[in-house]
Amino acid sequence: MSSSPGLLSPTASSTLPRRRNGKPPSCEPCRRAKVSCDHTLPVCERCRRRKVVAKCVYLTAPMTRPVPDGRGRRLVLTPTMTAGSGEGGLDRAVVKGSERERESGSLSVREKERLSIDVSAAPRDLSHSTTGGLSVDAVSKPTPESGPFIKSGGFFGPTNFSAVFMENRENLGNDEIQISVDSDLHVPSYESLQSQTFLMLAGKQHCGSPRVALGIKVLNAMPDEHTCKFLLEWYFEKCHESSCPKHSVLALANSFWNSSFAGSFRKEPRVTDDLEHVSTLLCKNAESALQEFEDFDDWLASCSGQNFRWESLGSVYGALTTSILSLPERDAFFATQRGERRNRRDFAVEMKDCVQACITLSNYMDLINVPMVALLTKNFVLQTVLSGDASLVVWRQLGDLVSSSTALGLHRQIDTGRPPSYISETKKRLFTSIFCFDKGSALLTGRPPALSYRYTRFELPLDLSEEVLIQGGEVLQEAVAKLDENGWNQEGQIYSTTATRAHGMFSQVLNEVLELSLGDKDICTAENINYLMGRIQTIYNSLPSFYAFKLSDLGSPNCTDRMFWRRLCLRLIMLEHRLLLERLAHKEGFLSGQSMVDCAREMLELTVLLWVQRDRFTEHHHDYDWMLMCWGVPSSGVLIVELLKQVKAPHSTKLVLPRSEIVQNLSLLIGFLEWIKPAAGNYQLCGRMKLIIKKILDQILNPGPTPPLSSQGVTASSAMPSSQESRNASVNGMGGVRGFQNAGMGVGVDGSTVGFDNGSVGGGFEQQQQQQVGFDNSGIDDGFDWLNNVDWSRGPWFDLGQDFSAARWS
């Protein structure tokens, strides 16, 4: 049945109901103009700036046309309704608005404004009626029959980061308490240039080619030369790049500012006719295929200067976006910018939009080349930072990236017998990164990977520096000759390619691990699990000695912060893969679970270390929310489940759990989760996990006379062993992970101690904050049953609908 659009009503938390894809709706002016809407109520900022407040309305189904007989009329709500009006009041308001429109035929702009929704007075329980309007219908709470976990959109399989809670829900309580998710924290989605259809539409102010018109907008967004120089220098010195050599990006940027058209960008204000000339040139260059050259200088000449292309410009915008995100949020640099660029996220979103637009402009002739695939890779990584790692737009972009890489043939790198060159090593590095991203996304979401190692023939890139690749010729051949027999450098340097090689080796094993976890259950045997565990450990042990992680290197003058960071991240990735196998073996009954607990303990300790030493890694702060998803949540989940088992049935478990050490690290993890900024893609996930872990710690440290604990004879003293007991438990409980010697401290894999600050973490948790994240406090003192009703598989974990890593790795 066709229905007519009605005005949307915000919920009691002053947020708009989301669309079926999980994103908030745009107002009518922004939707029709195909521009970004910030979804502000009652009037968005864009409409306020354009002085069209009267037209800023939100409709339920804006694309739905009314039926010819006039039965489907637009329903509006009067501002006189209050939350206490009741069902009858709302029905009268809907009927009144419908009758007024029927009498007048249509509503004027002023009438629409007068009949618009009062945010503070809008009732909570509104749902869409079959006629397209809004009617009151009490939101049905989930019942025990519907399952303990509230279902949500999107599929997340058995390897996703919250799966440990799903697998152990029978140990977390019963289904009596259902937790509402209607009042989740609202995080703006920052919808911008994601819909690639409207990008080709020209503005009314330009009567020429729509591609040229879009190009003018992209070119006009280029920061001034001084700003570009500062950001690119920061990018070169501080940022990690996996999609393409940073030297090539800097060379393209220098070519842009030294070209014949650079003068058009030094004028203030910039002249539209000059930008149109440059846009026309780039559009013309994009219509011809890009020839591949083995030598870097020849390659650079083919896509720079008068041959500058949209792919080249997109790589520059990608570098600027990365640099902006890696700067501290309150860096003095942003005070030098104008308008919305004074806000780090707004500036980054604008530059990211330009990357997306360059991709669209490059796709005009249906051509594919290496710079284009590199740009898709960069766009994918930036999207994960802004939207979150498990958002739908990220998953779709990953599919586009994989399809483009296979269309270019990067998955079939056959040895031709030619010596290594710039283009051959760039292809190896690029596809290895894509392969890693694909496996990381599959692991994080529990969905099948798009690439399989069985259907690819790719070689790992040689461990060479970017400077050597750029020089080429004899310099490159000499550097290749100095590599060891396995392709590693022997100078003890950790280059970007060094990290790519190591991650590629682990991803090949992860491909087989995912086959066990997501594939046929018959192949999930103890022999296969032990074989893959051995392979993971063998790969880690076979890495060069300069890549081995040692906690004692922290602060050592012989180990820079960048080297320590990369060693630490690789160690965590190895533990992440091992923990997945440990959980699988424990679930199938192949192992007792002690080695799983020890692996999770080390993983949690090292994750917390990232936050404790955060001042050393400022440029990586925008990755911290992703690291919590990949490493913090799975490791803490394993330990929380085992702690709950021990508290509820202390005599039934034989696992040795150093409770003091675990509680201290979980307390630090609470501080880590609370430290994540609201602009982060996974901010809502962190807020929910923060409350969950704090509630569990409260129950463990302050058990009280709760029935489940008293019935089993667990007292406060038995729930919290003495420090001596904890130390003995820690020493006697070493399993698959070495070096945990003290229960009260964080101990590294080499036996050295981390100086953790065990002060108060987590801060205050207000009742309002708990309701925003979706917790119902009723029955919380009855044990841990409330944990069984948390929707571990829905956003804010996965509705990471903002604009800008499972795929991202350091």
The stretch 630-641 carries a mean pLDDT of 91
In a domain, 340, yes or no: yes
In a domain, 156, yes or no: no
Q: Dump pLDDT digits (tens) for 526-581.
A: 999 999 999 999 999 999 999 999 999 988 888 999 999 999 999 999 999 999 99
In a domain, 120, yes or no: yes
**In angstroms, what CA-CA distances link 426 with 35, 421, 440, 506, 597?**
36, 8, 21, 20, 40
Share of the chain above pLDDT 70, in %: 67
Beta bridge partners of 746: 754
Question: 679: which 2 tokens?
Answer: 């602009």
CA atoms within 13 A on the CB side of 258: 9
How many structural domains comprise the chain? 3
Residue 693 and residue 768 in one domain: yes
The stretch 168-176 carries a mean pLDDT of 47
Rounded Cα–Cα distance for residues 566 and 560 (Å) = 10
In a domain, 716, yes or no: yes
Lowest mean pLDDT among 143-147, 402-406, 436-440, 463-467: 143-147
In residues, how long is the chain? 810
Rounded Cα–Cα distance for residues 256 and 314 (Å) = 12
* pLDDT over 80 (residue 91): no
In a domain, 18, yes or no: no
Residue 74 and residue 176 in one domain: no
Which single residue is written with the structure tokens 């329980």? 125
Residue 378 and residue 254 in one domain: yes
Last residue of a domain, one of 408, 425, 457: 408
Output the 3-class SS for 239-277. CCCCCCCHHHHHHHHHHHHCCCCCHHHHCCCCCHHHHHH
Average per-residue pLDDT for the chain: 74
Q: Dump pLDDT digits (tens) for 333-356.
A: 999 999 999 999 999 999 999 999
* pLDDT over 90 (residue 400): yes
In a domain, 797, yes or no: yes
The pTM (predicted TM-score) of the whole model is 0.69
Residue 269 and residue 382 in one domain: yes
- Higher-confidence residue: 476 or 206? 476
Residue 399 and residue 299 in one domain: yes
* pLDDT over 50 (residue 746): no
Q: Dump pLDDT digits (tens) for 2-37.
A: 444 555 544 444 567 777 777 888 888 888 887 888
Rounded Cα–Cα distance for residues 376 and 367 (Å) = 13
Lowest mean pLDDT among 633-647, 666-680, 688-702: 688-702
Most confidently modeled of 38-42, 121-125, 471-475, 645-649?
A: 471-475
* pLDDT over 90 (residue 495): yes
Residue 682 and residue 792 in one domain: yes
In a domain, 147, yes or no: no
Q: Label residue 715 by pLDDT band (50, 70, 90).
A: very low
Rounded Cα–Cα distance for residues 342 and 336 (Å) = 7
Residue 309 and residue 186 in one domain: no
Range(s) of the domain holding residue 77: 28-136
Residue 97 and residue 231 in one domain: no
Question: 309: which 2 tokens?
Answer: 């292309």
Lowest mean pLDDT among 383-387, 509-513, 691-695: 691-695
User: How confident is the model at residue 568, as a pLDDT?
Assistant: 96
**In angstroms, what CA-CA distances link 630 with 206, 340, 538, 681?**
47, 32, 22, 14
H-helix or E-strand spanning residue 599: helix 594-612
Residue 65 and residue 175 in one domain: no
Rounded Cα–Cα distance for residues 19 and 732 (Å) = 54
**What sign for the dihedral angle of Cα 480, 486, 492, 495?**
positive
Q: Which residues contact 734 (CB under 8 A, 6 or more apart)?
A: 598, 740
Last residue of a domain, one of 408, 430, 445: 408
User: How confident is the model at residue 156, as a pLDDT?
Assistant: 60
In a domain, 346, yes or no: yes
783: alpha, beta or left? (left if phi > 0; alpha if psi -120 to 50): left
* pLDDT over 50 (residue 139): no
**3-class state of residue 431 by DSSP:** helix
Residue 281 and residue 399 in one domain: yes
Give the single-character DSSP code of 753.
E
* pLDDT over 70 (residue 84): no
Last residue of a domain, one of 357, 375, 408: 408
The stretch 479-486 carries a mean pLDDT of 94
The stretch 54-61 carries a mean pLDDT of 82
Rounded Cα–Cα distance for residues 742 and 404 (Å) = 51
Residue 783 and residue 705 in one domain: yes
- Higher-confidence residue: 168 or 731? 168
Residue 279 and residue 389 in one domain: yes
